[in-house]
Structure 1
Amino acid sequence: MRYEKIRKFDVSNAPGVRTTIFVTGCTHNCKGCFNKELQDFNAGKIWTKSDEDMFIEYTKNENVVGVNILGGEPMQQTMDRALLNLLRRINTETGKNIWLWSGYTFEEIIKDKDRKELLECVDVLVDGRFNIEKRNINLKYRGSENQRVIDVKETLKNNSIILYEFEENI
């Protein structure tokens, strides 16, 4: 896996203070993509065990309420187990919730064994390709009206899409 940047404290992508990673590599090529430079699978730095340990330490900070995984395309990070290992460590070592943004829909993700394995580690999925014709700057945590903010755990449990309910006090 390769990544472009890590934000130790991020307040712009999901509720509360979070630790964020931007992975590189994406084949969707959505018109109007806000991270076009992260589409190149050779961009950024090679992810190392040292990077993973640092990310976990950032996540353990008492001010951090969760983690964001963006890109690029996180669900295309299946060439190795680096992202899966990171997600599993976050789950076991920190208990912090994980939000992940993907151009794939939930339905597409669960059809692929490796992507589904990543998804099972995630709490909230913002799914669907960015669609410039459906762009809406008033939406929370997503860029276009076709995208959904999905409560992954409830959706998997109920075998039906359950949208995430926003807490207004965060």
Structure 2
Amino acid sequence: MENKYLQVAGFLDNSLVNGVGLRSVIFVSGCKHNCEGCQNKEMQSFCYGDNISLKDILKRIESNMPLIKGITFSGGEPLEHIEELRILAEEIKNLGLNIWCYTGYTFEYIKKEMVQNLELNKLMNLVDVLVDGKYDESKKDGILKYRGSFNQRIIDVKKSLNKNEVIILDL
């Protein structure tokens, strides 16, 4: 973890809307999806925010314990920062916290990429819940829990990887 940095667009110490339970949220910078109606448009730039050491991010997470139950990776696009988030996720799991990750990629695409990308494979095996799919403004609904549009799915990653099929969480 020494000398590793992450371009962070923002950090919420406490959130109830970015996953189940009280959690901290790390918003990373950089996204190539360019979804129309994106609520975090400024975070699409890979230069937005601050370059923060993983060590300092972990200290901030630890300062929010024992109140928080988990961490959410959001953005921007978290999967643009696979190595850094994998390192951070290992430390987060050692703290006993669960991990949610929002991504514009689909689970099916990620699963195919995991075969050739060892870092992605390691990261996905540390993530508990994946909210997948690009935000689609034509399918938005303000009453949806933990997602912005109906095409996005809330996926139990462990069960999905074990059963080799997408297992949707019923929340």
Equivalent position SS for 2:34: coil
The answer for the alignment partner of 1:126 in structure 2 is 131
Q: What is the Cα-based RMSD across aligned positions, in Å?
A: 1.4
Aligned residues: 162
CA contact (8 A) 2:54 2:88 kept: no
Query: Post-superposition, which runs of at least 4 consecutive aligned residues in structure 1 deviate over 3 A?
Result: none
| Structure 2 residue runs without a partner (length 5+) | 1-5
- When structure 1 is superposed on structure 2, of 138-147 and 7-16 the one drifting more is 7-16
Residue 107 of structure 2 is matched in structure 1 by: 106
| 1:114-144 residue CA offsets vs partner (Å, 9 max, x unmatched) | 4333211100000000011111111110011
TM-score by length of 1: 0.89
- Is the 8 Å Cα contact of residues 89 and 123 (structure 2) preserved in structure 1? yes
How has the CA–CA distance of structure 1 residues 32 and 117 changed in structure 2, closer, same or farther, with 3 Å as cutoff? same
Ranges in structure 1 where 5+ consecutive residues have no aligned partner: none
Aligned to 1:13: 18
Deviations 1:48-107 (A, max 9, x none): 144233234135x122111111000001113xx221110111112x11111110000001
Who is 1:87 aligned against? Answer: 89
Q: 1:4: which partner in 2?
A: 9
Query: Which of 66, 69, 80 is residue 65 of structure 1 equivalent to?
Result: 69
How far apart are residue 6 of structure 1 and its match? 1.4
Query: In percent, how many aligned pairs have the same letter?
Result: 41
Distance 1:157 1:49 in 2: 30
